[in-house]
């Protein structure tokens, strides 16, 4: 029996709350702002299905784009499961642009330029560059303004070389296609794309937005974008969150999702606190424990605490695969990796997995990034191997699925997909950098090395880069669904943790009930200040006198500050990275002595 469109629509909308439901039905152009855990992929796939089911769009004239092969693969899987008919084109922005440029070349009887990697072309054209110069050049090539005259000169030389040698990198494909469509608008009809859905739109570059306008027309009438500006963490790749927040399209609707369905509400609020301003989002799962924060004197001590924490969870029946350890850099994961190995705890490191290394050692076709996946599948299918049969079959299945999605896929496209899926398949603790963890989730997450010297990254000197470091911390924290802990082995915690530390200290800083309704007292008690200092120091794992000396506390008792700002000015010996958080904590005690409920000044 064939289901009616009305019945299909009921199935698609029945389990959605009002905000996601609205997001599926509002006509384009539409911007969906989707915070971490708000179910953006579900909302996007349901919107596509609703628009197709109601006949507002047609699959053959629709493209669904995202920015990583793994994300495109997941979108295809969900659309295949949701839709009962032809699927729209679903791919990465770069892969889709290459296929469209190839179609333009075919239609015009032209030869497609040779495609090479940007890194190889930069090595060929530019003199040796520092890592920072390399990042700046790539961002400029992707549409960002050149920050220096040297970078502008290098970008010009790069562009000239590509033109003279008829070669393009993948970002050059985007620029070339946009230019061609702008010069020949009739080509839009030949490509036939009328509706465009772009996931993770905060990762878009100005050059990609130019392509979207060239595909759909300047008014972007058929555009739907989904993203979260607070999860924009790829500025080095040319991404700009303002492409999402400042998108200027006539008649554009905006739907903002405000419910996190992933994490307990206590964690949702704690994670939001590290952003300025914090997003207005609530957790659909009430309660839950607050994050735990700890400081250590040495990375080995921190690593041993990770072993104890994860072992404790495992002894309570939690599977290893439900846990993750995340760090800002891969180097910071080394001590934990070694400690887990010594303790016999299985682990898998995203991007550096031993299983993948073993596969590459056994199968020659996996060693080269440019090897077509059809070659890999042939080798996997025809070779006898000492690799575990279940594992080998899993890899074959992933390769075959990816080839069905994209017959042009290569080994480099497989690695991200296989990396994440192997981590989920193995019963092992996942180790990952903050960047690699984006888009993933675990029940229990430990963030390490979040000290003052590591976060923000020492190279993040500009206000924009430090803002991205804050967003990166938020992304890492929001990977946890049920419990989160953070630690450092440094002189002090990261300055980015100040709002969280203030919140956690305040949660354990309730003024005694006996003070309510009493007349003002002239000063806080010595015991209250000592207790608050000790509580704050214990949370950081440092000696109380390192935060504020006994002599300084006596000074506070003799001349009690009348405002938060005055207290902050008094804490001259407190480490700068925790000064504001400690001031908030102590001010609550002092404010209580004046009969106030909480600190509002300077907050």
- Are the C-beta atoms of residues 126 and 140 closer than 8 Å to each other? no
In DSSP notation, 536-588 reads: HHHHHTS-HHHHS-HHHHHHHHHS--SSHHHHHHH-TTS-HHHHHHHHHHHHH
- Alpha helix positions (H), 352-443: 354-362, 373-382, 389-405, 411-425, 434-437
pLDDT digits (tens, 9 = 90+) for 550-598: 777 777 777 677 777 677 777 877 877 677 778 777 877 777 665 433 3
Higher pLDDT, 377 or 447: 447
Please give the Cα distance from 102 to 111 (Å, whole number). 8
Across 205-209, 344-348, 358-362, 376-380, least confident range? 358-362
Average pLDDT over residues 503-519: 44
- Are the C-beta atoms of residues 403 and 314 closer than 8 Å to each other? no
Please give the Cα distance from 138 to 122 (Å, whole number). 9
pLDDT of residue 518: 30
Share of the chain above pLDDT 70, in %: 84
Across 289-293, 342-346, 408-412, least confident range? 408-412
Higher pLDDT, 255 or 136: 255
Residue 508 has pLDDT above 70, yes or no: no
Average pLDDT over residues 26-55: 92
Residue 603 has pLDDT above 50, yes or no: no
Residue 602 has pLDDT above 50, yes or no: no
Across 391-400, 420-429, 591-600, least confident range? 591-600
pLDDT digits (tens, 9 = 90+) for 83-116: 888 889 998 898 899 999 999 999 989 888 888 8
pLDDT digits (tens, 9 = 90+) for 311-366: 999 999 999 999 999 999 989 999 999 999 999 999 988 876 566 666 777 777 77
pLDDT of residue 180: 93
Average pLDDT over residues 200-216: 91
The 8-class DSSP code of residue 461 comes to: -
Residue 386 has pLDDT above 70, yes or no: no
Average pLDDT over residues 188-215: 92
Higher pLDDT, 509 or 164: 164
pLDDT digits (tens, 9 = 90+) for 161-178: 988 888 988 888 998 999
Mean of the per-residue pLDDT values of the chain: 83
pLDDT of residue 511: 29
pLDDT band at 225 (very low <50, low <70, confident <90, very high): very high
Average pLDDT over residues 282-292: 91
pLDDT band at 431 (very low <50, low <70, confident <90, very high): very high
Average pLDDT over residues 459-483: 92
pLDDT of residue 587: 78
Please give the Cα distance from 159 to 125 (Å, whole number). 10
Q: How many CB atoms lie within 10 A of CB 205?
A: 24
127-135, long-range: CB < 8 A, 24+ apart: 129/154, 132/459, 135/236
Residue 129 has pLDDT above 50, yes or no: yes
Please give the Cα distance from 603 to 592 (Å, whole number). 16
Across 170-184, 200-214, 433-447, 535-549, least confident range? 535-549
Higher pLDDT, 490 or 286: 286
pLDDT of residue 593: 63
The two tokens of residue 116 are 């090479």
Residue 67 has pLDDT above 80, yes or no: yes
């Amino acid at each position: 029996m064939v289901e009616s469109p009305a019945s299909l629509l009921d199935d698609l909308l029945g389990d959605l709350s009002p905000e996601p439901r609205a997001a599926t039905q509002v006509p384009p152009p539409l911007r969906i702002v989707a915070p971490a855990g708000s179910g953006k992929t579900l909302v996007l796939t349901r919107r596509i299905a609703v628009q197709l089911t109601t006949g507002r769009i047609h699959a053959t004239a629709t493209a669904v784009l995202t920015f990583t092969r793994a994300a495109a693969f997941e979108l295809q899987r969900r659309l295949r499961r949701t839709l009962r008919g032809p699927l729209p084109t679903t791919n990465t922005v770069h892969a889709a642009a290459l296929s469209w440029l190839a179609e333009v070349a075919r239609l015009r009887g032209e030869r497609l330029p040779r495609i090479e990697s940007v890194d190889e072309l930069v090595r060929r054209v530019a003199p040796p560059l520092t890592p920072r110069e390399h990042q700046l050049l790539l961002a400029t090539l992707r549409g960002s303004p050149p920050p220096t005259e040297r970078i502008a000169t290098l970008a010009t030389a790069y562009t000239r070389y590509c033109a003279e040698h008829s070669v393009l990198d993948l970002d050059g494909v985007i620029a070339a296609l946009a230019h061609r469509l702008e010069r020949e608008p009739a080509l839009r009809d030949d490509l036939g794309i009328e509706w465009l859905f772009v996931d993770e739109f905060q990762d878009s570059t100005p050059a990609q937005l130019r392509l979207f306008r060239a595909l759909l027309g300047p008014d972007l009438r058929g555009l739907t974008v989904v993203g979260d500006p607070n999860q924009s963490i790829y500025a080095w790749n040319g991404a700009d969150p303002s492409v999402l927040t400042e998108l200027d399209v006539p008649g554009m609707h905006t739907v903002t999702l405000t419910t996190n369905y992933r994490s307990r509400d206590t964690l949702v609020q704690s994670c939001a606190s590290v952003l300025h301003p914090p997003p207005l989002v609530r957790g659909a799962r009430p309660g839950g424990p607050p994050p735990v924060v700890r400081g250590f004197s040495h990375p080995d001590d921190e690593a041993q605490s990770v072993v104890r924490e994860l072992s404790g969870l495992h002894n309570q029946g939690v599977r290893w695969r439900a846990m993750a350890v995340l760090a800002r850099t891969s180097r910071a994961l080394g001590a934990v990796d070694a400690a887990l190995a010594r303790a016999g705890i299985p682990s898998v490191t995203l991007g550096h997995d031993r299983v993948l290394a073993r596969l590459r050692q056994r199968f020659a076709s996996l060693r080269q990034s440019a090897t077509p996946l059809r070659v890999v599948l042939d080798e996997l299918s025809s070779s006898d191997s000492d690799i575990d049969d279940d594992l080998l079959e899993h890899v074959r299945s992933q390769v075959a699925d990816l080839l069905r999605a994209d017959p042009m896929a290569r080994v480099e496209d497989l690695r991200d997909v296989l990396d994440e899926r192997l981590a989920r398949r193995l019963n092992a603790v996942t180790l990952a950098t903050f960047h690699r963890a984006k888009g993933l989730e675990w029940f229990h997450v430990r963030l390490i090395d979040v000290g003052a010297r590591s976060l923000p990254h020492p190279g993040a000197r500009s206000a924009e880069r430090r803002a991205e470091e804050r967003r990166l911390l938020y992304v890492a924290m929001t990977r946890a669904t049920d419990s989160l802990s953070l630690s450092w082995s440094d002189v002090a915690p990261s300055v980015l943790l100040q709002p969280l530390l203030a919140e956690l200290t305040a949660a354990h800083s309730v003024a005694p009930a006996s003070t309510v309704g009493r007349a003002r007292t002239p000063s806080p008690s010595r015991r209250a200040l000592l207790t608050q200092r000790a509580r704050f120091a214990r949370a950081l794992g440092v000696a109380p006198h390192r935060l504020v000396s006994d002599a300084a506390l006596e000074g506070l008792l003799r001349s009690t500050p009348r405002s938060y700002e005055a207290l902050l000015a008094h804490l001259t010996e407190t480490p700068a990275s925790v000064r504001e958080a400690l001031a908030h904590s102590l001010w609550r005690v002092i404010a209580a002595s004046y009969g106030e409920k909480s600190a509002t000044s300077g907050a």
